[in-house]
Structure 1
Protein backbone atom coordinates (compact mmCIF):
# COMPACT_ATOMS: atom_id res chain seq x y z
CA UNK A 1 0.00 0.00 0.00
CA UNK A 2 1.25 3.47 -0.84
CA UNK A 3 0.12 6.98 0.07
CA UNK A 4 0.87 10.26 -1.63
CA UNK A 5 -0.55 13.75 -1.59
CA UNK A 6 -0.89 16.15 -4.51
CA UNK A 7 -1.73 19.82 -4.93
CA UNK A 8 -1.55 22.45 -7.65
CA UNK A 9 1.89 23.49 -6.45
CA UNK A 10 3.54 20.19 -5.64
CA UNK A 11 3.30 16.82 -3.99
CA UNK A 12 4.37 14.97 -0.89
CA UNK A 13 6.90 12.20 -0.91
CA UNK A 14 5.36 8.85 -1.77
CA UNK A 15 5.07 6.79 1.37
CA UNK A 16 5.24 3.01 1.03
CA UNK A 17 3.60 1.39 4.03
CA UNK A 18 5.43 -1.55 5.53
CA UNK A 19 3.71 -4.85 6.16
CA UNK A 20 0.37 -5.08 7.86
CA UNK A 21 -2.93 -3.34 7.43
CA UNK A 22 -3.52 0.36 7.70
CA UNK A 23 -5.12 1.08 11.05
CA UNK A 24 -6.26 4.47 12.27
CA UNK A 25 -3.22 4.69 14.56
CA UNK A 26 -0.86 3.87 11.69
CA UNK A 27 -2.62 6.38 9.46
CA UNK A 28 -2.23 9.09 12.08
CA UNK A 29 1.37 8.19 12.97
CA UNK A 30 2.73 7.33 9.50
CA UNK A 31 0.70 9.62 7.23
CA UNK A 32 -1.10 12.45 8.98
CA UNK A 33 1.57 13.49 11.47
CA UNK A 34 4.75 13.22 9.35
CA UNK A 35 3.35 13.96 5.87
CA UNK A 36 0.00 15.77 5.91
CA UNK A 37 0.71 18.15 8.80
CA UNK A 38 3.93 19.61 7.32
CA UNK A 39 2.46 19.67 3.80
CA UNK A 40 -0.61 21.54 5.04
CA UNK A 41 1.72 24.04 6.68
CA UNK A 42 3.71 24.46 3.48
CA UNK A 43 0.58 24.98 1.37
CA UNK A 44 -0.76 27.46 3.90
CA UNK A 45 -4.24 28.90 4.41
CA UNK A 46 -6.92 27.25 2.34
CA UNK A 47 -5.38 23.77 2.57
CA UNK A 48 -8.16 21.19 2.34
CA UNK A 49 -7.45 17.50 2.78
CA UNK A 50 -9.32 15.28 0.33
CA UNK A 51 -9.55 11.68 1.43
CA UNK A 52 -12.14 8.96 1.06
CA UNK A 53 -14.21 7.27 3.74
CA UNK A 54 -11.80 4.43 4.43
CA UNK A 55 -12.13 3.40 8.06
CA UNK A 56 -8.73 4.74 9.14
CA UNK A 57 -9.53 8.12 7.54
CA UNK A 58 -12.81 8.58 9.40
CA UNK A 59 -11.75 7.05 12.72
CA UNK A 60 -12.17 9.28 15.73
CA UNK A 61 -8.45 9.32 16.54
CA UNK A 62 -7.67 10.67 13.06
CA UNK A 63 -10.55 13.14 13.02
CA UNK A 64 -9.41 14.40 16.42
CA UNK A 65 -5.83 14.76 15.17
CA UNK A 66 -6.96 16.80 12.16
CA UNK A 67 -9.14 18.99 14.36
CA UNK A 68 -6.34 19.53 16.89
CA UNK A 69 -3.96 20.50 14.07
CA UNK A 70 -6.49 22.82 12.41
CA UNK A 71 -6.49 20.77 9.20
CA UNK A 72 -9.77 20.91 7.32
CA UNK A 73 -10.90 17.78 5.51
CA UNK A 74 -13.44 17.67 2.71
CA UNK A 75 -16.74 15.99 3.51
CA UNK A 76 -17.06 12.87 1.41
CA UNK A 77 -20.58 11.42 1.04
CA UNK A 78 -20.98 7.66 1.43
CA UNK A 79 -21.24 5.74 -1.86
CA UNK A 80 -20.30 8.81 -3.87
CA UNK A 81 -18.46 8.59 -7.18
CA UNK A 82 -14.71 8.58 -6.62
CA UNK A 83 -13.67 11.88 -8.17
CA UNK A 84 -10.39 12.26 -6.33
CA UNK A 85 -7.74 13.22 -8.91
CA UNK A 86 -5.21 11.02 -7.12
CA UNK A 87 -7.04 7.99 -8.56
CA UNK A 88 -5.82 9.05 -12.01
CA UNK A 89 -2.28 9.32 -10.66
CA UNK A 90 -2.48 5.75 -9.34
CA UNK A 91 -3.62 4.65 -12.81
CA UNK A 92 -0.72 6.48 -14.48
CA UNK A 93 1.69 4.83 -12.07
CA UNK A 94 0.22 1.37 -12.60
CA UNK A 95 0.47 1.67 -16.38
CA UNK A 96 4.04 2.91 -16.12
CA UNK A 97 5.08 -0.04 -13.94
CA UNK A 98 3.37 -2.53 -16.28
CA UNK A 99 5.12 -1.02 -19.34
CA UNK A 100 8.60 -1.62 -17.96
CA UNK A 101 10.76 -4.04 -19.90
CA UNK A 102 11.80 -5.76 -16.69
CA UNK A 103 9.06 -6.10 -14.09
CA UNK A 104 9.97 -5.62 -10.43
CA UNK A 105 10.79 -9.01 -8.94
CA UNK A 106 10.58 -8.21 -5.23
CA UNK A 107 8.44 -6.03 -3.00
CA UNK A 108 11.42 -3.71 -2.51
CA UNK A 109 11.97 -3.41 -6.28
CA UNK A 110 8.28 -2.59 -6.69
CA UNK A 111 8.46 0.03 -3.93
CA UNK A 112 11.54 1.60 -5.51
CA UNK A 113 9.89 1.62 -8.95
CA UNK A 114 6.74 3.25 -7.56
CA UNK A 115 8.75 6.00 -5.88
CA UNK A 116 10.65 6.62 -9.12
CA UNK A 117 7.45 6.75 -11.20
CA UNK A 118 5.81 9.07 -8.62
CA UNK A 119 8.69 11.50 -8.84
CA UNK A 120 8.69 11.44 -12.66
CA UNK A 121 5.03 12.44 -13.07
CA UNK A 122 5.05 15.98 -14.45
CA UNK A 123 3.54 18.56 -12.11
CA UNK A 124 1.55 19.85 -15.08
CA UNK A 125 -0.25 16.48 -15.23
CA UNK A 126 -1.23 16.88 -11.58
CA UNK A 127 -2.37 20.48 -12.12
CA UNK A 128 -4.46 19.42 -15.12
CA UNK A 129 -6.20 16.70 -13.08
CA UNK A 130 -6.94 19.05 -10.18
CA UNK A 131 -8.20 21.80 -12.47
CA UNK A 132 -10.55 19.29 -14.11
CA UNK A 133 -12.51 18.90 -10.85
CA UNK A 134 -15.25 21.47 -11.57
CA UNK A 135 -15.89 19.91 -14.97
CA UNK A 136 -15.92 16.40 -13.53
CA UNK A 137 -18.32 17.41 -10.76
CA UNK A 138 -20.67 19.02 -13.32
CA UNK A 139 -20.68 15.79 -15.34
CA UNK A 140 -21.51 13.68 -12.29
CA UNK A 141 -24.35 16.05 -11.38
CA UNK A 142 -25.62 16.03 -14.96
CA UNK A 143 -25.45 12.21 -14.99
CA UNK A 144 -27.30 12.19 -11.62
CA UNK A 145 -24.48 10.20 -10.08
CA UNK A 146 -24.38 7.77 -12.98
CA UNK A 147 -21.53 6.86 -15.30
CA UNK A 148 -19.30 9.58 -16.75
CA UNK A 149 -16.25 9.22 -18.96
CA UNK A 150 -14.03 9.95 -15.96
Structure 2
Protein backbone atom coordinates (compact mmCIF):
# COMPACT_ATOMS: atom_id res chain seq x y z
CA UNK A 1 0.00 0.00 0.00
CA UNK A 2 2.90 2.34 0.71
CA UNK A 3 4.10 2.26 -2.90
CA UNK A 4 0.60 2.85 -4.24
CA UNK A 5 0.00 5.75 -1.84
CA UNK A 6 3.39 7.23 -2.73
CA UNK A 7 2.69 6.92 -6.46
CA UNK A 8 -0.71 8.57 -6.03
CA UNK A 9 0.86 11.41 -4.05
CA UNK A 10 3.52 11.98 -6.73
CA UNK A 11 0.87 11.92 -9.45
CA UNK A 12 -1.34 14.36 -7.55
CA UNK A 13 1.59 16.73 -6.98
CA UNK A 14 2.48 16.61 -10.68
CA UNK A 15 -1.09 17.35 -11.77
CA UNK A 16 -1.30 20.26 -9.35
CA UNK A 17 2.09 21.64 -10.43
CA UNK A 18 1.04 21.48 -14.09
CA UNK A 19 -2.38 23.04 -13.33
CA UNK A 20 -4.15 20.01 -14.79
CA UNK A 21 -7.75 19.90 -13.59
CA UNK A 22 -9.03 16.62 -12.20
CA UNK A 23 -12.42 15.39 -11.03
CA UNK A 24 -13.11 16.04 -7.37
CA UNK A 25 -13.59 12.35 -6.57
CA UNK A 26 -11.73 9.21 -7.60
CA UNK A 27 -13.08 7.54 -10.71
CA UNK A 28 -14.35 4.41 -8.97
CA UNK A 29 -17.47 4.38 -11.11
CA UNK A 30 -17.51 1.50 -13.59
CA UNK A 31 -18.85 4.10 -16.02
CA UNK A 32 -15.47 5.84 -15.93
CA UNK A 33 -13.05 2.98 -16.09
CA UNK A 34 -11.41 3.53 -19.44
CA UNK A 35 -14.75 2.43 -20.80
CA UNK A 36 -13.99 3.12 -24.39
CA UNK A 37 -11.24 0.50 -24.35
CA UNK A 38 -13.80 -2.26 -23.77
CA UNK A 39 -15.46 -1.17 -27.01
CA UNK A 40 -12.13 -1.32 -28.82
CA UNK A 41 -11.51 -4.84 -27.45
CA UNK A 42 -15.05 -5.80 -28.46
CA UNK A 43 -14.48 -4.53 -32.00
CA UNK A 44 -11.18 -6.40 -32.13
CA UNK A 45 -12.84 -9.60 -30.88
CA UNK A 46 -15.59 -9.35 -33.53
CA UNK A 47 -13.06 -8.75 -36.29
CA UNK A 48 -11.03 -11.81 -35.27
CA UNK A 49 -14.12 -14.03 -34.99
CA UNK A 50 -15.23 -12.94 -38.47
CA UNK A 51 -11.98 -13.99 -40.12
CA UNK A 52 -12.28 -16.75 -42.68
CA UNK A 53 -9.66 -18.75 -40.81
CA UNK A 54 -10.09 -18.47 -37.05
CA UNK A 55 -6.74 -18.57 -35.19
CA UNK A 56 -5.92 -22.11 -34.04
CA UNK A 57 -2.98 -21.37 -31.73
CA UNK A 58 -1.37 -18.56 -29.76
CA UNK A 59 0.93 -17.43 -32.57
CA UNK A 60 -1.93 -17.26 -35.06
CA UNK A 61 -4.01 -15.36 -32.51
CA UNK A 62 -1.16 -12.92 -31.89
CA UNK A 63 -0.79 -12.34 -35.63
CA UNK A 64 -4.56 -11.93 -36.07
CA UNK A 65 -4.72 -9.41 -33.22
CA UNK A 66 -1.88 -7.37 -34.69
CA UNK A 67 -3.46 -7.41 -38.16
CA UNK A 68 -6.97 -6.58 -37.01
CA UNK A 69 -5.79 -3.92 -34.55
CA UNK A 70 -4.37 -1.92 -37.46
CA UNK A 71 -7.62 -2.40 -39.39
CA UNK A 72 -9.91 -0.82 -36.79
CA UNK A 73 -10.98 2.42 -38.47
CA UNK A 74 -9.43 5.51 -36.92
CA UNK A 75 -12.90 7.09 -36.92
CA UNK A 76 -14.04 4.37 -34.49
CA UNK A 77 -11.19 5.17 -32.12
CA UNK A 78 -11.78 8.92 -32.45
CA UNK A 79 -15.50 8.54 -31.68
CA UNK A 80 -14.72 6.58 -28.54
CA UNK A 81 -12.13 9.06 -27.37
CA UNK A 82 -14.43 11.99 -28.10
CA UNK A 83 -17.17 10.36 -26.01
CA UNK A 84 -15.08 10.80 -22.84
CA UNK A 85 -16.12 14.44 -22.41
CA UNK A 86 -19.80 13.40 -22.38
CA UNK A 87 -18.98 10.59 -19.97
CA UNK A 88 -17.19 12.94 -17.58
CA UNK A 89 -20.05 15.46 -17.68
CA UNK A 90 -22.62 12.69 -17.08
CA UNK A 91 -20.60 11.33 -14.17
CA UNK A 92 -20.23 14.79 -12.62
CA UNK A 93 -23.98 15.41 -12.99
CA UNK A 94 -24.66 12.04 -11.33
CA UNK A 95 -22.30 12.98 -8.46
CA UNK A 96 -20.18 9.93 -9.21
CA UNK A 97 -23.16 7.60 -9.42
CA UNK A 98 -24.49 5.48 -12.27
CA UNK A 99 -24.76 7.00 -15.73
CA UNK A 100 -26.25 5.70 -18.96
CA UNK A 101 -22.76 4.77 -20.16
Same-fold status (TM-score > 0.5)? yes
Out of 69, 73, 78, the residue aligned to residue 118 of structure 1 is 69
- 2:32 is equivalent to residue 101 of structure 1: no
Structure 2 length normalisation: TM-score?
Answer: 0.61
Does 2:80 align with 1:80? no
Task: Provide Cα deviations, 1:98-123, integer angstroms capped at 9, x if missing partner.
Answer: 22232110011111101111111122
Q: TM-score, normalising length from structure 1?
A: 0.44
Which structure shows the bigger proportion of residues in helix conformation? 2
Which string of whole-angstrom CA distances, capped at 9 and with x for unpartnered residues, describes residues 79-130 of structure 1?
A: 3222442222111101111222321100111111011111111222211111
Greater strand share, structure number: 1
Is 2:82 aligned against 1:131? yes
| Structure 2 match to 1:146 | 98
Which has the higher Rg, Structure 1 or Structure 2? 2
Alpha-carbon RMSD across the aligned residues, in angstroms, is 3.3
SS at match of 2:26: coil
Gaps of 5+ in 1: 1-58
Q: Distance in 1 between matches of 2:48 and 2:93?
A: 35
